Amino acid sequence: MPKSKPLRFKSPDLPEKIKEQFKKFINDHPTTTSAAKVLFGLAVFGGVLTAAVVVPGVVSTIGRSTNNRKVEERKRYARLWQNFYRMKKEHSLVFCKEENGADIYEFTKNGEKKFRRFVLETLKIEAPLKWDGNWRIIIFDIPENRRLARRSLQRKLSEIGCYPLQKSVWVHPFPCEEEIEFIKDVFNVKPFVYVLKASEMPNGKVLYHYRQMLKSHL
């Protein structure tokens, strides 16, 4: 592994709720998360990449023999460095300054765009301990010349568990304002998407669709 100064990354500007979701994903999937995602995770964690320290939770190989675990950790850690150098070459990361013996790197616009796409993949609507009784209605009117963004938005709404009342009207019972705001930002459709609250839901199909989910949170 490289013999160099420790590397630190300036955390991208993300809502705290979205950061926590991404952290949880990294911690819950230590051996299947790509090295690129791990580097982004280090930025969110305020972590350090150094040849002398193995990042906790990142190269976990529980259940393997000691020798195999060490080999796997070395390989995975080497991939972190390889991805770091690749991201530098692609101008996704740029040197910012030296501070307390470490080199500080920050994401370029290109790097932050990639980072947000990675975060988008892990995004989900988390269930509250108790439902507040309000429905979140996501409505949008995206121009035809932005139809690819519209399709991407619809696909993502489906992935995170929203239900389509119409092609441009979707619904979810749980708080999701911050998640939708993040999605709007990634797809650059902020002026065209709104989230409203409704205390009643007259559509029987929606009630049936979420019946089991709501039973657990009433």
Q: Give Dmax (Cα) for the chain.
A: 64
Amino acid 69: pLDDT: 64
Q: What is the mean pLDDT of the chain?
A: 84
Sole residue written with tokens 């892990």: 122
Please tell me the number of Cα atoms within 13 Å of 199 on its side-chain side.
0
C-alpha–C-alpha distance, residues 186 and 108, integer Å: 15
Q: What residue numbers bound the domain in which 96 lies?
A: 7-122
Tokens of 107: 């994401």
Residues 185 and 99 in one domain: no
Residues 40 and 111 in one domain: yes
Residues 32 and 116 in one domain: yes
Look at the chain and report how many structural domains it folds into: 2
Residue 56 has pLDDT above 80, yes or no: no
Weakest mean pLDDT among 28-32, 199-203, 209-213: 28-32
Across residues 35-48, what is the average pLDDT? Answer: 76
Amino acid 23: pLDDT: 81
Residues 142 and 116 in one domain: no
Residues 44 and 114 in one domain: yes
